[in-house]
Structure 1
Amino acid sequence: MAADYDIFDELARVKESVAKALDSAKKHGATSAEVSMSKQTGLSVSTRSREVETIEFNHDGALGISVYCGHRKGSSSTSDLSESAIESAVTAAISIAKHTSEDPFNGLADSELMATEIPDLDLYHPGSLEPQYAIDLALETEAAALDYSDAITYCDGASYNSHQGLRVYGNSHGLIAGYPSSRHSLSCVTIAEHEGEMERDYEYSVSRYPDRIDAPKYIGEQASKNTLARLGAKKLDTMTVPVVISSQLSAGFIGHLVSAIGGGSLYRKASFLLDKKGEQIFPDWLSIEEKPHLKGYLASTPFDHEGLATKDLTVIDQGTLASYLITSYAGRKLNMAPTGHAGGTHTWFVNHTVESQAALLKQMGTGLLVTDLMGSSVNIITGDYSRGAAGYWVENGVIQYPVHEITIAGNLQDLYKNIVAISDDADLRKSTLCGSILLEEMKVAGN
């Protein structure tokens, strides 16, 4: 199947369709317009109980069109790229724009901010789309998980996904740019039972490169190890103790910052970091750098969803909030320059202070290592944070036993300032690369 699909021919065809849509918008009287399309071809296979459960192929995508008639905006889409279908979609968007209210902040981003060079970020590495190849990987993963220990009572599924696609963006400033990309993953979920209580855990691997995902044997066995380590979990009494948030979760913990400094939250005055730019919100040793042009990384991109050129950015400078994350619409409302974050953030690097999680646990001494979070009660307006959690109780820097059915809580304004240390074990499967985080203390609610 992969041999019959030339991504670069497809990229050229989509660029032509985008150009036709822009020409049509101009012909029908739009003041300005932007057109984007993401298209994907891929295969997903899952197995359960050593049998194939699902095989899914996909080949989809739609052309999204937004036109501006003055400050009025209309949008439509079409998956049919024929000239007549594109023409119909454009006229539909024009009609919608004429019936919407004016918004003085609507419009394209400024032309001088558009990407002018599209670097090759090494994002495209297609893999096999043959079903049998994917089936073999999933079955091998599941077998490794089930054969690891008799205590593993059930495998809740193994899955392999391989997708390749493209993204094209164009607007009436004259920009039409695009690039291909790929993504491959292998995962496994296992269940074990101990004294009438069941525990489950998982393992997964993801990469732009098909030959860089972890081996099926490793994924299966690690999923089982993770599950077995949770057996015999105990509850804790309610207390206030130091807490380590594992590197598998730290990206999400830091990720609440993204919502709080995003333009949408700021102009709605719905952020605990409103008017905090230039103020210290983390310890003075902590910095966060965004690097969108690293080759092969999962969150790398040459331009954002408005066509703005992406560039390196210091988000946190020695504990100080150095930048908000602003789209052109939010920028007009806030009287700020856009930062190239339409569509989200790019690769973030959070610096570390110790070399390993083991060193971090030793520094903590006695406290809680959190390895799983459930549910979500995070108020970005106030910073109040409360999550169901599970993990391990630690004494003298050594894990003693697993714990579950607890809740950790605090306020992000305090928690961010009270980060004590970060280890050098960032999870490369995430877009925010941050090691395990040691917090001075958190409220732990248990018995």
Structure 2
Amino acid sequence: MTQAFDARAQQAVLESRAETALELARRLGADACEVGASVDQGTGVSVREGDVESVELSRDQGIAVTVYLGKRKGSASSTDASDASIKSVVEKAIAIASYTGEDPASGLADAELMATELPDLDVHHPWALDTDKAIELALACEAAGLAEPGIRSSDGASLSSGEGVRVYANSHGFLGSQRGSRHSLSCLLIAEDASGMQRDYDYTSARDPRALRDPAEVGRSAAERTLQRLGGQRPQTGRFPVMFDPTLASGLIGHLMSALAGGAIYRDASFLCGRLGETLFPEWFSLAEQPMLVGGMASSPFDGDGVQTRNNRFIEQGRLASYMLSAYSARRLGMQTTANAGGARNLRLEAPLESREALLSKMDRGVLVTELMGQGVNGVTGDYSRGAAGFWVENGQIQHPVEEFTIAGNLAGMFQGLVGLGDDIDTRGSIHSGSWLIDEMTIAGS
């Protein structure tokens, strides 16, 4: 195992280093400065067919400094946070700034926006887990999956556990820091029948190790998902309803947020440019973030600019209510920051929910998608085309697995065509969503 990680001590060290960098930047003539520093430590093990494949013990640290000379900006970073390295990083950042052109939008976020409420959001739960115990848990997960009739072999089970500290400080006098942890366990299995081999997986992830699912349950679930894929066929080509499994529906929200990001908007590189106030979804659909959620996977009281985070509503009763803005992108657009430097935090849907059975019945005939392949999403036009696998639905009932087909549409049309959301919410990430039923997409199969 790696040496013991004292998060509080590391936090104090990083805060001191950040203050050292700020003071040095001031003495070297910077008009303003901001510093980000972090340290992370983790353990990861992987097993396959009952044998240990790898044990990884990691420790990473870094410091990044951005200085401003008027409206000129320079940034430099290092994985060495010693005093000598900090001095070098600050000097390089100032040298870079002296050569860059002026940018009217450049600079720190306004001082009055700095976070003043910095509560403990309960996101740090270290796991006193030695290597032998980690291997034991991964082996138990895999063994449970392999024990299921019909499973041929394993492509491995993995367990990871990590914790870290991040610090942000700037020359407004703001200094914020946060300790955090994340733990996960996964299993990938292989099954085979006359039609060929199939594989699938399942996983569990949480801030607090006590919230992880039982390893045997994860293994059995991975086996069940794998066995369900045997006998896959190509679906017929046509226009059909498509239902996205919860594990994939969060990706649709991710595409939406990428299109809402200020950087894409001011570059005129999003299909949502100039569409504030327009109706994108049915009126029963709203989307909000809760960055101060206690225990949330992405909770933080301050954003990457040091701005106090707040609840934001990006979609309000179907309408595009807000873009996702940092201080810089807000200035470029002549707007106000939404405290989203670094992205959105803990996205939650607000809408009527239905059971999976009810959604399948509403679909009647179409495809339930459980796997997507490829990167065929164009954020500029909204065009969407991806390889897929899943299940064919007839008369509201799953009939058989389908594979080797493509689903295609346009995100704007898909959002407008949302006809139902499932109550089968996947809570493992920062985006919580159930299944999405889209009224119609193009299926290219046989």
Q: TM-score, normalised by structure 1?
A: 0.97
Question: How far is the alpha carbon of 1:196 from its aligned partner?
Answer: 5.0
Cα distance in structure 1, aligned partners of 2:162 and 2:314: 31
Q: Which amino acid letter does the alignment assign opposite residue 117 of structure 1? A: E
| Counterpart for residue 356 of structure 1 | 355
| Counterpart for residue 135 of structure 2 | 135
Q: Is the 8 A contact 2:45 2:54 kept in 1?
A: yes
Deviations along 1:229-264, whole A, 9 cap, x unmatched?
Answer: 000011111011111111111010121111111111
Question: How far is the alpha carbon of 1:28 from its aligned partner?
Answer: 0.3
Where does 1:387-426 land on structure 2 (aligned, <5 Å)? Answer: 387-426=386-425
Q: Is the 8 A contact 1:43 1:57 kept in 2?
A: yes
Q: Is the 8 A contact 2:50 2:139 kept in 1?
A: yes
Cα distance in structure 1, aligned partners of 2:4 and 2:423: 43
Cα distance in structure 1, aligned partners of 2:3 and 2:140: 25
Cα distance in structure 1, aligned partners of 2:397 and 2:356: 11
Cα distance in structure 1, aligned partners of 2:361 and 2:130: 48
| Counterpart for residue 300 of structure 1 | 299
Cα distance in structure 2, aligned partners of 1:63 and 1:430: 27
Question: How far is the alpha carbon of 1:308 from its aligned partner?
Answer: 1.0
Q: Is the 8 A contact 1:38 1:62 kept in 2?
A: yes
Q: Which amino acid letter does the alignment assign opposite residue 78 of structure 2? A: T
Structure 1 consecutive aligned stretches of length 4 or more whose deviation exceeds 6 Å: none
State the percentage of identical aligned residues. Answer: 47
Cα distance in structure 2, aligned partners of 1:380 and 1:81: 37
Question: How far is the alpha carbon of 1:84 from its aligned partner?
Answer: 2.4
Question: How far is the alpha carbon of 1:325 from its aligned partner?
Answer: 0.4
Cα distance in structure 1, aligned partners of 2:288 and 2:266: 24
Q: Tell me the SS of whatever aligns to 1:107.
A: coil
Question: How far is the alpha carbon of 1:222 from its aligned partner?
Answer: 0.7
Q: Which amino acid letter does the alignment assign opposite residue 161 of structure 1? A: S
Cα distance in structure 2, aligned partners of 1:110 and 1:125: 33
Deviations along 1:99-122, whole A, 9 cap, x unmatched?
Answer: 222222211111111111211110
Question: How far is the alpha carbon of 1:83 from its aligned partner?
Answer: 2.2
Q: Is the 8 A contact 2:61 2:80 kept in 1?
A: no
Q: Is the 8 A contact 1:352 1:423 kept in 2?
A: no
Q: Is the 8 A contact 2:354 2:420 kept in 1?
A: no
| Counterpart for residue 50 of structure 1 | 50
Where does 1:55-74 land on structure 2 (aligned, <5 Å)? Answer: 55-74=55-74
Question: How far is the alpha carbon of 1:269 from its aligned partner?
Answer: 0.7
Q: Which amino acid letter does the alignment assign opposite residue 167 of structure 2? A: V
Q: Is the 8 A contact 2:14 2:38 kept in 1?
A: no
| Counterpart for residue 121 of structure 1 | 121
- How many residues matched? 446
Q: Is the 8 A contact 2:249 2:433 kept in 1?
A: yes
Q: TM-score, normalised by structure 2?
A: 0.98
Q: Is the 8 A contact 1:355 1:423 kept in 2?
A: yes
Q: Is the 8 A contact 2:387 2:407 kept in 1?
A: yes
Deviations along 1:369-422, whole A, 9 cap, x unmatched?
Answer: 111111121111111111111111112221110000111111111110111111
Q: Which amino acid letter does the alignment assign opposite residue 343 of structure 1? A: G
Where does 1:287-436 land on structure 2 (aligned, <5 Å)? Answer: 287-436=286-435
| Counterpart for residue 19 of structure 1 | 19
Q: Which amino acid letter does the alignment assign opposite residue 4 of structure 1? A: A
Question: How far is the alpha carbon of 1:38 from its aligned partner?
Answer: 1.9
Where does 1:128-207 land on structure 2 (aligned, <5 Å)? Answer: 128-149=128-149, 151-195=150-194, 197-207=196-206
Cα distance in structure 1, aligned partners of 2:182 and 2:261: 27
Matched, 1:247 2:246: yes
| Counterpart for residue 215 of structure 1 | 214
Q: Which amino acid letter does the alignment assign opposite residue 115 of structure 1? A: A
Q: Is the 8 A contact 2:302 2:309 kept in 1?
A: yes
| Counterpart for residue 264 of structure 1 | 263
Cα distance in structure 2, aligned partners of 1:70 and 1:266: 25
Question: How far is the alpha carbon of 1:357 from its aligned partner?
Answer: 1.2
Cα distance in structure 1, aligned partners of 2:92 and 2:69: 13
Cα distance in structure 1, aligned partners of 2:171 and 2:424: 45
Question: How far is the alpha carbon of 1:12 from its aligned partner?
Answer: 0.9
Distance 1:250 1:212, change over 3 A: same
Matched, 1:86 2:82: no
Q: Is the 8 A contact 1:354 1:360 kept in 2?
A: no
Q: Tell me the SS of whatever aligns to 1:224.
A: helix
Q: Tell me the SS of whatever aligns to 1:376.
A: coil
Deviations along 1:326-380, whole A, 9 cap, x unmatched?
Answer: 1111111110111111111111111242332122112222211111111121111
| Counterpart for residue 6 of structure 1 | 6
Question: How far is the alpha carbon of 1:78 from its aligned partner?
Answer: 2.6
Q: Tell me the SS of whatever aligns to 1:378.
A: coil
Cα distance in structure 2, aligned partners of 1:86 and 1:241: 58
Q: Which amino acid letter does the alignment assign opposite residue 65 of structure 1? A: V
Q: Is the 8 A contact 2:195 2:230 kept in 1?
A: no
Q: Which amino acid letter does the alignment assign opposite residue 231 of structure 1? A: L
Q: Is the 8 A contact 2:10 2:39 kept in 1?
A: no
| Counterpart for residue 445 of structure 1 | 444
Cα distance in structure 1, aligned partners of 2:81 and 2:61: 10
Q: Which amino acid letter does the alignment assign opposite residue 245 of structure 2? A: S
Unaligned stretches of 5+ residues in structure 1: none
Q: Is the 8 A contact 2:313 2:322 kept in 1?
A: yes
Cα distance in structure 2, aligned partners of 1:25 and 1:79: 19
CA RMSD after TM alignment? 1.3
Deviations along 1:264-314, whole A, 9 cap, x unmatched?
Answer: 111111111111101111011111111111111111111111111110111
| Counterpart for residue 107 of structure 2 | 107
Cα distance in structure 2, aligned partners of 1:353 and 1:406: 31
Unaligned stretches of 5+ residues in structure 2: none
Cα distance in structure 2, aligned partners of 1:243 and 1:292: 31
Q: Tell me the SS of whatever aligns to 1:440.
A: strand
Q: Is the 8 A contact 1:40 1:60 kept in 2?
A: yes
| Counterpart for residue 232 of structure 1 | 231
Question: How far is the alpha carbon of 1:3 from its aligned partner?
Answer: 8.3
Cα distance in structure 2, aligned partners of 1:291 and 1:66: 28
